[in-house]
Amino acid sequence: MTPAPLTADEMRALERAAIGSGAVTGSELMERAGRGAVDAIRERWPGLGRATVLCGPGNNGGDGFVIARLLRDGGCDVTVHLFGALDKLPPDARANHDRWAATAPVGRIGTDAVTPETDLWVDAVFGIGQTRALPEEVVAVLASARDSAAPLVAVDVPSGLASDTGEVLQTFRPGADLTVTFHGPKPGHLTGAGPECCGKVVVVDIGL
């Protein structure tokens, strides 16, 4: 049975409770989320040659770094770009950034060119906590991704879509071919513009 939709606050509370109980660490949850996303990606698009992963300034971005690493471990040529200040990344996200950066470069959204030559885009820029319009630099990259021939995978929700309401938060209308979310669906997957923007929604069990 699919769990009932969870608001952003409810999802955060579940994660805090699990971490606070000692049942799991934040790092372990991030690893499980990234692995679940990669499993869903490979089931839909086996044999990927190239992927471009767009990471944001929060834990959604941390999931993106895990996804990038695991895709690369599976033989994919992966390029990673980060939006936001590196020193403001949460600890678990920063650890996964540093793990990636120790072996490969990290481009910067808004500063470095993002190549469109890819077989897959991963949108891990903003997750369930987004409530404001996307910055122009992010819109420019996501618009290129959305309009390219390569499929786009959103982590939790497409950036620019409110996870609690399904509201599009700016003029740019996000769109994904696949959205991978964790533990349970979010209201925004099911209401408002969500069904149109999210594509197929896959719920991954991360052991909460």
CATH of the domain at 39: 3.40.50.10260
Q: Is 131 annotated as a binding residue?
A: yes
Strand partners, 124: 55
Answer yes or no: is 12 within a domain. no
Answer yes or no: is 140 within a domain. yes
Range of the domain at 171: 31-204
Angle formed at CA 138 by CA 41 and CA 82, multiple of 5 degrees: 65
Answer yes or no: is 167 within a domain. yes
Q: How confident is the model at residue 47 (pLDDT cuts 50, 70, 90)?
A: confident
Answer yes or no: is 15 within a domain. no
Answer yes or no: is 1 within a domain. no
Q: Is 2 annotated as a binding residue?
A: no
Q: Is 129 annotated as a binding residue?
A: yes
What does the pLDDT read at residue 208? 82
Copy the structure tokens of residue 118.
Answer: 């890819």
Q: Is 49 annotated as a binding residue?
A: no
Mean pLDDT of 44-51: 94
Helices within 118-168 (DSSP H only): 136-147
Q: Is 127 annotated as a binding residue?
A: yes
Domain count, the chain: 1
Answer yes or no: is 22 within a domain. no
Q: Is 207 annotated as a binding residue?
A: no
Answer yes or no: is 177 within a domain. yes
What does the pLDDT read at residue 2? 61
Mean pLDDT of 76-80: 96
Q: Is the pLDDT score of 1 beyond 60? A: no
Element (H, E) at 60: helix 59-73
pLDDT tens digits, 124-137:
999 898 999 999 99
Q: Which residues, other chains included, contact 139 with Cβ-Cβ below 8 Å and sequence gap of 6+? A: 160, 170, 172
Answer yes or no: is 151 within a domain. yes
Q: Is 123 annotated as a binding residue?
A: yes
Q: For residues 186 and 141, what is the distance between their CA atoms, to the nearest angstrom?
A: 25
Q: Is 26 annotated as a binding residue?
A: no
Q: Is 63 annotated as a binding residue?
A: yes
Q: Is 170 annotated as a binding residue?
A: no
Q: Is 96 annotated as a binding residue?
A: no
107-108 and 121-124 beta bridge pairing: unpaired
